[in-house]
Amino acid sequence: MSFLPLLSISMSEVKAADAGLASAFGNVSMQIGAALGLAVLGSISVDHARALLAHGDSLPVAQSGGYQLAFLLAAVSVVAGLAVVVTFLRTGGGARRQSARVELEQTEAEAA
């Protein structure tokens, strides 16, 4: 659900000549970030489950504990990401969109 809005945000201030490169960079960043995040959460979950097994918990309880820790860390990551977005999101996007629209119209007029 977040890939399309993130791609739109990453492409919002890119010149038309650099759109392909910027799109590729944004897609690669999102795909690698998602894969790396899932791998880290999976590793932490398995490690925590093994620790619970070593302390004598049953396998279902240990797995549930590992998953619970992974979901908790994922939720904390989402909250931290939202905090970063809310803190650093600039206002005035309407002015940027208007200037981009004017620039696009000028580029189209020059091309014609």
Residues 56-65: pLDDT tens digits? 999 999 999 9
Question: How many whole angstroms separate alpha carbon 7 and alpha carbon 11?
Answer: 6
Q: How many CB atoms lie within 10 A of CB 63?
A: 17
According to DSSP, residue 2 is labeled -
Cβ–Cβ under 8 Å, residues 96 and 13: yes
* Residue-by-residue pLDDT tens, the chain, 112 positions: 777 887 787 788 888 888 888 888 888 888 898 899 999 999 999 999 999 999 999 999 999 999 999 999 999 999 998 898 888 876 655 555 566 666 767 777 776 6
Contact 7, 32 (CB under 8 A): no
Describe the chain by its helix, strand, coil percentages, rounded to 5.
Answer: 85, 0, 15
Give phi and psi for 89, each to the nearest 5.
Answer: -70, 125
